[in-house]
Structure 1
Amino acid sequence: MGTRQLESVVRERCRSGTVTIAEVSRLFDRLLATSDPVPSIYPFNHLFMALVRMKNITNYYPTVFSLFNRLTLNKHISPDGCTYSILINCCTRVDRVRLAFVLLGRFLKVRSGTEARLFNPLLKGLCKDNRIHEVAAIVLNKMPKLGCIPDLFSYNILMNGLCKIGQIDKAEELVDYMVSKGLQPDVVTYTTLIDGLCKKGLLDKATQMLQCMISKGLEPNIVTYNALMDMLCKKGEIEKAEELLDFMVSKGIQPDIVTYTTLIDGLCKKGLLDRANQMLQCMITKGLEPNVVTYNALMDVLCKKGEIEKAEELLDFMVSKGVQPGIVTYNIFIDRLCKKGLLDKANQMVQCMISKGLEPDVVTFNVLMDMLCKKGEIEKAEELLDFMVSKGVQPDIVTYNILIDGLCKKGLLDKAEQMLQCMISEGLEPDVITYSALRCTVQTRRN
């Protein structure tokens, strides 16, 4: 098989999406062994991309770098910007951001200029690690100094990061800045801002942004509508959310699992279980399979209504459909069992969860701790706190509030104040619930 024919085979196999790691390695070996003529870098890039796109890349990434190192030893084939971009993307996907920086530095040493696509995977990785200020420094300062002009994707990544940490004003300023640099916002830009505004509860501004987006000739996509729908449901405005669903469909955009799950959750939180079930049936008839979040919403409302047996039946049905329960699922049941005073059954549910390979989280421990405090078993609650910390689960403000309230109710005022100091030393600020519990302490001491 000639070089060009082999390159064509590599390209087609990689595009098929069915290539295996063993096949990638074989094709890589064949390409390296071909010398008349020497293959270009492009088929190698196809192979690297195929590896990085594999779901279990965490297991395969050493193979990616093993192949890359072999490629760099070849005197006739040089990795290009695309190669490095793929490898940097691989690094960020497996949480190896430091290695991504090393690769970027290595590329910059041998190339006088570079493209934004080389930085963008690194920017995404930094955002994933909540290193937003570093992203801003790279986009606004470092890239321009290196002669690399940030592209729309670079700005959108930074905008997403700013919205993620609640700095909506800076994200809006960034839009004006990128426009001044000759870049026009796209659907992703506006959707990112709309989602950020919705998460901050600024529904009116989000709606205005939607209108601005449409006036620019940009059509909102399913992600845009889902963000608005989520906000409406969180505000309890279910009717408006359903109207938005109808409007979305009239625009030719079909709802997805997120859309239906958002509406089902909103209906459940309003106690409208019948309508939630109707929405579930509508979802299924559309060929969309409910996921664990969908089922959790329904089980949560059943548990809150005291219909635990129905919730358990739904749990069994969910498992029969191949949907595995998660920590949130178990926490729903544990919380309700504790509130009904069924501590033994709640503990059985915890053991069931652990047997499934799921570790209790801070919510699980808080629920159990609250139950123990309400039963006056404060010593057991404190023991549970120590056990929780030994498992690497950090207490949150809810944990401390539960224990402070429990200690106050038992008259253990000195220990309650010690717990407050411990909470503050952990960098947690007391809230209204903390002060409410401690007010009882002050009043008790005065009496």
Structure 2
Amino acid sequence: MPPRASLLLHRRLSTLPTHRDQSKVAALLDVLTSAPPSSAQLPRALSRAFPSSPDAFPLRTLPHLLPLLPSPLLSLRFLIWRLTPFSPLPSPLVLSSLATSLPDLSSSVPLLLSSSRQPLPPPHYALLLNISAHAGLFPASLAILRHMRSFGLVPDAACFHHALRAAGSAGDVSGVLEIMSGCGASPTIPVIVTAVHKLASAGDFEGAHRLIDKMPEFGCVPNAVVYTAILDGMCSFGNVDAAERLIEEMEGREPGANCAPNVVTYTCLVKCLCGKGRVMEALGVLDRMAKRGVMPNRVFVRTLVEGVCADQRVASAYDVVERLVGDGSVPSWQCYNVLLICLWRVGMVAEAEGLAQNMMKKGVQLTPLAGSVMVRELCVRKRSLHAYHWLGTMEENGVLCDFDVYGTLLLALCEEGHVHEAAGLGRKVVQRGIYVEASCADRLVELLKQYGHEELASHILGLRRSAEGLPI
């Protein structure tokens, strides 16, 4: 690396929060810049410099470190070294974060594969397929499967499933299934469900049906899950009429059949109907479910009520809630909290506040989610004082909002000049040790100092939370 580029990189890496982190990253930089990216010696050099990689580079720091390394290929090689074949696969949330932070994956993955003269450990193939799926890079996923086959390795069902998740067209799905067939591997239910959904989402309904018809050849029995997958794909494609015909076909099966529609199936239909503005038909789905003895759940209620509210049919939304409460199919507190959240999210402020007041009067407890949504929405509308009083009322009734709400409200109070209330809430935040997001905390400290609350500002600074979710 040229001296100037190395100097610039050192400056970028010096932005890491602690001196200890900076020294580790400086040592890492020395290792990475002393060996070519394709060198087989790189993993050994890294292991000599850092015998305990998890301690040296905690998983939470990687999304911030990877973009700073000298090249996209080195970033990917470093990640693979850090996540050894014996490391457990990170959670979907962490994998998504890693996929976002890794630079130029579409080029670095093929480069990594082409420079590997030996097969990678199977867990590393799974890692690369997972990251490619989260990044939506199907060409990279296909290249990984082909790299495995070039060494005579047979990908397992999970590998094919990850590759299908990245598929963006019917042709992509066919490509994965062809490799499966060439390996002599049979699709499992999760693979079929994903493939069917992808085909239907791309508008290839015939291909999706053909795959379902072939399921007995693979030792699988078609069921409501796979039919719901094709239904959801139809809805994603926007073909609500095809979705209606499919549900009618499913309803025509004998009661108790594996392919009979369930609450998830009807939820997909409701979402699709509401998305097309066919709200009255969506309301009629409740009757169809009742005739077949399918009970609504919280997700179904939220989907239907949200669609009705978005169409400004407040009376119909209340009718739905009253009906469900009367039937006893969903607890009343769940129904009313769902309605409250939906009213806030579609901007029906007066209706939402009226409902919240009635719930409080009748002893219907607000959920932490509903309370948090209410405080946030009031802050967005520059009504922090109302949000402050609502927060106090909810706390008196035992409702504890999400911790991030406190920082949001505290900043809103300061910005709107409600100094007395801001000081009171600030002291509460300090007493409870509630961490505040860094960007919010920085602005709060600045405003509190302007208002003469130097000590409170100092305490808030101590509760400043970094981007990794930990206090600085």
TM bracket, shorter-chain basis = 0.3 to 0.5
